[in-house]
């Protein structure tokens, strides 16, 4: 049987050990393990990589600990605007949504865009109309309220500052969640979801919903989910850059991922990390920050969650 595997992340950034209590660290690791195990169980049952990444990301979206779904940060207008994307490496089909509100699991809406529309990317009012036509339940604003997130916003509201969830405060992080998987048939997939930036204005969109920037999957190369300073990941077309290095330079998934995260993105001033898997189930999880919430599990016996380097 081919090796099947899954990797997940819950954001990268300035995660200083001294500011993380043992209780909070245990909560993060438990939430990561829950999502990792759920995605792996899907693969173990012989289901697709697309199903596995959706299941894993939904559980991360359901946790208030991560900036996606329930834990999304507050915008300048004290609301929540979420983005998500998903891609199938077998068919190169993809779906993405941006600037959506009230949707409990944005990744599921992105998958519906991929499979139940003729489009790839829906945003704002149009994406919400699509969700309503598909009978999505809209959650009340109270579902997305988190006291820690609200305090983050109160500190910078009414200013021109915005916060990549890690900026200024040493105990914070880039807020994105994601999963990549390789199933028993050697097909791969990637999914990414985020609540964006604290105090963001003007309908700002980061790399998470952008195919090729924050999310990408192609059976010929790899599946990638990114987390980091979105503006730089967009300009560096990071996810596709990794795939290109594999396709055109013959690099392994590990070599290509390391080259992009530890050299190419740094050269233009960006920081963050990514998770990647190839069609043989090999996983890479590089980051150039102090930490990245992450986990990996494979049929060859790997099973781990980690936060720091």
* 176 in catalytic set: yes
DSSP structure class, residue 144: G
Nearest-angstrom CA–CA distance, 195 and 128: 16
The pLDDT of residue 147:
80
DSSP structure class, residue 260: I
State pTM to two decimals: 0.93
The pLDDT of residue 174:
63
- Residue 153 in 3-state DSSP? helix
Q: Which of 48, 176, 227, 289 is catalytic?
A: 176
Nearest-angstrom CA–CA distance, 193 and 104: 11
Model confidence pLDDT, tens digit, residues 30-44: 999 999 999 999 999
Please say whether the beta carbons of 31 and 70 come within 8 A. Answer: no
The pLDDT of residue 142:
86
Nearest-angstrom CA–CA distance, 281 and 2: 8
What totals of helices (H) and strands (E) does the chain contain, helices first? Answer: 9, 12
Model confidence pLDDT, tens digit, residues 86-139: 999 999 999 999 999 999 999 999 999 999 999 999 999 999 999 999 999 999
CB burial class (10 A; 0-12, 13-18, 19+) of residue 302? middle
H or E element that contains 45: none
- Residue 234 in 3-state DSSP? helix
pLDDT in tens, the chain (309 residues): 789 999 999 998 866 676 788 898 999 999 999 999 999 999 999 999 999 999 999 999 999 999 999 988 877 777 788 999 999 999 999 999 999 999 999 999 999 999 999 999 999 999 999 999 999 999 998 888 888 777 877 787 776 655 554 344 444 456 799 999 999 999 999 999 998 877 777 888 999 999 999 999 999 999 999 999 899 999 999 999 999 999 999 999 999 999 999 999 999 999 999 999 999 999 999 999 989 999 999 999 999 999 998
């Amino acid at each position: 049987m081919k090796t099947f595997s899954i990797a997940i992340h819950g954001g990268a950034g300035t995660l200083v050990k001294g500011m993380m209590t043992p209780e909070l660290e245990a909560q993060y690791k438990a939430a990561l393990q829950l999502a990792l195990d759920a995605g792996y169980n899907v693969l173990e049952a012989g289901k697709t990589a697309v199903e596995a990444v959706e299941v894993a990301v939904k559980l991360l979206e359901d946790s208030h600990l991560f900036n996606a779904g329930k834990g999304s940060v507050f915008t300048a207008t004290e609301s929540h605007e979420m983005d998500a994307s998903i891609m199938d490496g077998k068919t190169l089909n993809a779906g993405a949504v941006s600037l959506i509100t009230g949707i409990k699991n944005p990744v599921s809406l992105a998958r519906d865009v991929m499979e139940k529309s003729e489009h790839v990317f829906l945003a704002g009012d149009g994406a919400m109309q699509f969700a309503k036509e598909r009978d999505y339940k809209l959650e009340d604003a109270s579902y997305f309220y988190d006291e820690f997130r609200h305090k983050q916003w109160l500190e910078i509201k009414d200013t021109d500052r915005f916060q990549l969830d890690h900026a200024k405060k040493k105990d914070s992080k880039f807020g994105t969640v994601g999963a990549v998987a390789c199933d028993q048939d050697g097909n791969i997939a990637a999914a990414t979801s985020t609540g964006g930036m604290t105090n963001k204005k003007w309908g700002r969109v980061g790399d998470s919903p952008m195919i090729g920037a924050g999310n990408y999957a192609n059976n010929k190369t790899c599946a990638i989910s990114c987390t980091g300073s979105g503006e730089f990941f967009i300009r560096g077309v990071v996810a596709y850059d990794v795939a290109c290095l594999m396709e055109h330079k013959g690099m392994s998934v590990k070599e290509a991922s390391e080259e992009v995260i530890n050299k190419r993105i740094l050269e233009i001033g960006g920081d963050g990390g990514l998770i990647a898997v190839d069609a043989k189930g090999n996983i890479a999880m590089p980051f150039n920050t102090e930490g990245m919430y992450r986990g990996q599990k494979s049929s060859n016996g790997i099973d781990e969650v980690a936060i720091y380097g």
